[in-house]
Amino acid sequence: MALIVQKYGGTSVGTVERIQAVADRVIATKNKGNQVVVVVSAMSGQTNKLIALAKDIDEQPPAHEMDVLVSTGEQVTIALLSIALMKKGAEAKSYTGSQIKMLTDSAHGKARILDIQCDNMQKDLQDNKVIVVAGFQGIDELGRITTLGRGGSDTTAVAMAAALKADECQIYTDVDGVYTTDPRVEPKARKLDRITFEEMLEMASLGSKILQIRSVEFAGKYNVPLRVLSSFEEGEGAGTLITTEDDEMEQAVISGIAFNRDEAQLTISGVPDKPGVASDILGAITKVNIEIDMIVQNVGEDGTTDFTFTVHRNDYVNALDCLTQTGDKLGAKKVYGNDSIVKLSLVGVGMRSHAGIASTMFAALAEEGINILMISTSEIKISVVVAEKYLELGVRTLHSAFGLENDGTLSCI
Ligand code: ADP
Ligand code: ASP
Ligand code: MG
């Protein structure tokens, strides 16, 4: 008998009909002799609606009350799915984050899981029950409700699978696997049968929202077999298996293209080139709790230096404010920014053993007249920042330049 954790995202439980379909799939899995734990998200759109309600009252509502509010979305779905399962004759029991004692730290809105108490659940599973767990939520040591960040139900599912030593964690969503890039942007994107944890982690960190970053980190760390599948497909597809690198895997040089439209770029130019200047500029930004992503520094011949860096677009106004103040202090020539940019990234473990990827990338973009604003590289990725208007063209150009497409068929709603 295998223990399977299945996670269903917002669109997969977006209507009563979809919830009924999820119940059928859960029962089918159970009828094959498996124990099943189901983790669900809020019905699609609900989390955004709850956030908007709060923001109608206060643009910056207290984070701990936001967690009380947004966690209600998942509570609705666990009840509805349990009702559907019971109506169809299965024994089911719903659990909120606090009922399973999903202990997290107290970082409201982006809490990290510390511990899960599995005793009650083990007993329910032995009693032949399907367990239905609210994704995205936990409690801290003070008993306050916390949430794990947007898309956090993925992490709940992987954490449950790790804690219960499940045989597989299946992430059901509205596409039938991980594609070479977001199929909504490049319809010729190809489904991958497998992708390594390392590549999936890069894809997620660089903006692919198919899996929350922490869920991939967790799965890699605890060796949880992780699969992405469609809940809209009849029967059982194979989806995409996230796996450790092995010799048998055919190694494509590039596995995928990620993009991130959530960034903004800031520049400070003409500051004295001397020790401590980077720390003055970037330290001031991190001091106001703004995370910096890419950084480029250029030193001019006149003894001054320029810094360009990116931050989350939500932090753009505050970062520009802070940088302007630093610029005044340091006597900068100019401080300016641009919040209409995107970051495009090529990801692939095969890059380690292949030269010339960057030059192919830059030439392909140049041929389409796409100007590169920033570049950053690591062992298995190359990222460029370009104007936002080039997102689709850039992704499609790179997809074709690296031969990632197939015959163009795609099963995505
Ligand atoms: P859920 O609500 O099930 O958690 P998400 O919206 O979080 O679903 O994730 C699924 C979406 O991720 C897809 O609809 C797709 O548009 C997007 N996506 C982004 N990058 C990729 C990729 N490389 N492969 C597949 N889907 C991707
Ligand atoms: N409902 C939460 C969100 O919309 C968590 C999730 O769906 O994973 O971000
Ligand atoms: Mg998601």
Cα-based angle 220, 97, 89 (whole degrees, multiple of 5):
100
Which pLDDT score, from 0 to 100, does residue 73 have?
97
Which pLDDT score, from 0 to 100, does residue 251 have?
63
Angle between helices 213-222 and 197-205 (to 10 degrees): 160
Check if the beta carbon of residue 219 is closer than 8 Å to that of residue 242: yes
- For residue 7, give the amino acid letter: K
Q: How confident is the model at residue 249 (pLDDT cuts 50, 70, 90)?
A: low
pLDDT of 390 higher than 50: yes
Q: What is the mean pLDDT of residues 356-363?
A: 91
β-bridge pairing 292-299 and 92-95: unpaired
Compute, in angstroms, the gap from residue 173 CA to the centroid of ligand 3.
8
The pLDDT tens digits of the residues spanning 308-351 come to 999 999 899 999 999 999 999 988 999 999 999 999 999 988 88
Q: What is the mean pLDDT of residues 258-272?
A: 94
pLDDT of 410 higher than 50: no
Which pLDDT score, from 0 to 100, does residue 326 have?
92
The pLDDT tens digits of the residues spanning 11-55 come to 999 999 999 999 999 999 999 999 999 999 999 999 999 999 999
Share of the chain above pLDDT 90, in %: 79
Q: Whose CA is nearest to atom 7 of ligand 1?
A: 210
pLDDT of 63 higher than 80: yes
If one counts every other C-beta atom within 10 angstroms of the C-beta of residue 107, the result is: 14
If one counts every other C-beta atom within 10 angstroms of the C-beta of residue 238, the result is: 12
Which pLDDT score, from 0 to 100, does residue 413 have?
38
Which pLDDT score, from 0 to 100, does residue 155 have?
97
pLDDT of 239 higher than 50: yes
Q: What are the backbone dihedrals phi and psi of residue 118, each rounded to the nearest 5 degrees, phi first?
A: -100, -5
Compute, in angstroms, the gap from residue 405 CA to the centroid of ligand 3.
24
Share of the chain above pLDDT 70, in %: 96
Task: Please choose from 70, 136, 174 the residue to mutate so as to test ligand 2's pocket, defined by most ligand atoms within 8 A of CB.
Answer: 136
The pLDDT tens digits of the residues spanning 68-78 come to 999 999 999 99
The pLDDT tens digits of the residues spanning 399-409 come to 999 989 864 33
Which pLDDT score, from 0 to 100, does residue 119 have?
82
In the 8-state DSSP scheme, what is residue 257?
E
In the 8-state DSSP scheme, what is residue 233?
S
The pLDDT tens digits of the residues spanning 104-150 come to 999 999 999 999 988 888 889 999 999 999 999 999 999 999 999 99
Compute, in angstroms, the gap from residue 41 CA to the centroid of ligand 3.
8
pLDDT of 247 higher than 70: no
Task: Please choose from 39, 209, 231, 410 the residue to mutate so as to test ligand 1's pocket, defined by most ligand atoms within 8 A of CB.
Answer: 209
The most distant pair of C-alpha atoms in the chain lies apart, rounded to whole Å, by 78
What distances in angstroms separate CA 34 from CA 73, 143, 154, 168, 239, one per listed residue? 28, 33, 21, 11, 19
Q: What is the mean pLDDT of residues 265-291?
A: 91
Q: What is the mean pLDDT of residues 268-272?
A: 92
Q: Write out the two tokens for 296.
A: 């480029």
Angle between helices 72-87 and 63-70 (to 10 degrees): 20
Q: Write out the two tokens for 162.
A: 């790790």
**CA–CA distance, 282 with 290 (Å, rounded to integer):** 10
- Residue 10 Cβ < 6 Å to ligand 1: yes
- For residue 96, give the amino acid letter: T
Check if the beta carbon of residue 21 is closer than 8 Å to that of residue 88: no
Mean pLDDT of all residues belonging to the chain: 92
Instruction: Give the rounded distance of the alpha carbon of 355 from its chain centre.
Output: 29
- For residue 290, give the amino acid letter: I
Cα-based angle 308, 339, 259 (whole degrees, multiple of 5):
85
User: Which residue from 259, 299, 255 is spatially nearest to 385, judged by alpha carbons?
Assistant: 259
**CA–CA distance, 167 with 187 (Å, rounded to integer):** 33
Q: Is the dihedral of CA 40, 162, 179, 51 positive or negative?
A: positive
